[in-house]
Amino acid sequence: MSSLGAPPVEFLSIGRNLSRLAAEKPDAPALTVDGQTLTFGQLHARTNRMARGLLAHGAKQGDFVTIALPNSIGFIEAEFACWKIGATPQPVSWRLPAHEMKAIIELANSPLVIGNDASVQAGRPIVSPDALLAASTDETDLPDAIAPHWKAPTSGGSTGRPKLIVAGTPGVVAVGAGEGALWRYSGSDTVVMTGPLYHNAPFGLTASALHAGAHVVLMIKFDAEETLRLVERHRATWLYLVPTMMSRIWRLANREGFDVSSLHTVWHMAAPCPPWLKEEWIGWLGGEKLLELYGGTEAQTITVIDGNEWMAHKGSVGKPLALGEMKAFGPDGKMLGPRETGEIYLRRDPSLPPSYRYVGAEARTLPGGWESLGDIGWFDEDGYLYLADRRTDMILVGGANVYPAEIEAALDEHPLVASSAVIGLPHEELGNQIHAIIQPREGLDLDDLHRHLAERLLIYKRPRTFELVRENVRDDAGKVRRTALRDERIKKS
């Protein structure tokens, strides 16, 4: 027992933890994708075979192994196979442009790529999950192995230059600590994961839920109505969303026809949530069920806030947890006081090991161990953080700072705007003019949209030009790559 009377924490390799779960509940559902379910016993046996397939293809302990797959059972099996040989899964979008895919694989120095598409320009052997499974029929446990780093997701950020964000934590599970305590799931929960596994939060949360023994229902691709259908069908208790998904669910005409009473926790993160939308969800589900997290893949520290606390601090993303601290700094590197807007820097508790390291980039730092993720914001007198936007996304219009996220929130509040992104385009007099890229719903009238924005934004913050597009402006994880959008439009002009 510890000095606080808590039970001792048992650390197991991720492979051994799955073996434990397979022994304790072999017939319990572990993973459901598109109607197909694997039990914990099946997941363990199949990934033992696939791990041997990885070894046969030259992967070894300590390697980064790139996974370029859509959401699927094969993706989950691939990552567990990596962990079982002590390798680090390195997820990427299978739809990346060839030059970006190649750059990431070169950074990772992956011995192979786990993928289904032989046309991927990887410069390395491409092996499918089925081929790995077929490489061995031996379902017995492998010798225990621990990956030096449990994950190595990628990020291009606003610069578009890829980097690996290598986790500081090895491939172990802290069983006695309750793997899902922070996230509010346990072995009795059913988790619906809506996001793409090549993004950090869906990857990490799905893995953590499985480590805890929860049943994960993984969507191949987000669909608003199907999300509610899955929650009702599986009596799901836990749901992951990003604000774009929240908006699409909220606007469903038949939303109230689904039974979502089984949910006890709904997390949202990855992008700013418009306050009006957050209030609607709090009113619908209850503030105690809705939680928001702010932090980077780097995980120096995070903030967490539930809906009830948010109602008392509207617009905030919460206060930093005990892992570290956050402060706003001015351009001169001076720490700012309450309600002064600046760049947000994070500092991990020095008694804790580093939470990450970069491959292919350097951190943006200030003396004293402070690191920036590039976000702009301010703190109130109680220490609650309020975000404005990313430093690199800020638009300078006639000498005034304009934050795209504020404009996008106003645009997305219009019932006939499905998604939006705001960028700055060159302007001779103003330096930049605000350009809105909008995916409309049927019947959107631009005159009505102008009136809508006039009620919500100062005149210099309103878009001067509008562009209507058919596709979702944001990716499946709710992210928008403004630099790429801007470059494309400048190139065409």
Q: What is the dihedral of CA 172, 173, 176, 179, to 10 degrees?
A: 150
Domains of the chain: 1-177 (3.40.50.980), 272-391 (2.30.38.10), 394-492 (3.30.300.30)
Token couple for 106: 């070169």
pLDDT for residue 119: 59
pLDDT value of residue 422: 94
Strands 238-241 and 190-193: parallel
Q: How far apart are CA 403 and CA 414, in angstroms?
A: 19
Query: Counting beta carbons within 10 angstroms of the beta carbon of residue 127, is it exposed (0 to 12), middle (13 to 18) or buried (19 or more)?
Result: buried
Mean pLDDT per 10-residue section of the chain, whose length is 493 residues: 57 97 98 98 98 98 97 98 98 85 92 83 87 97 98 71 92 84 94 95 97 97 97 98 91 96 96 89 98 94 97 95 92 96 94 94 94 92 89 76 86 93 86 93 95 90 94 83 86 81
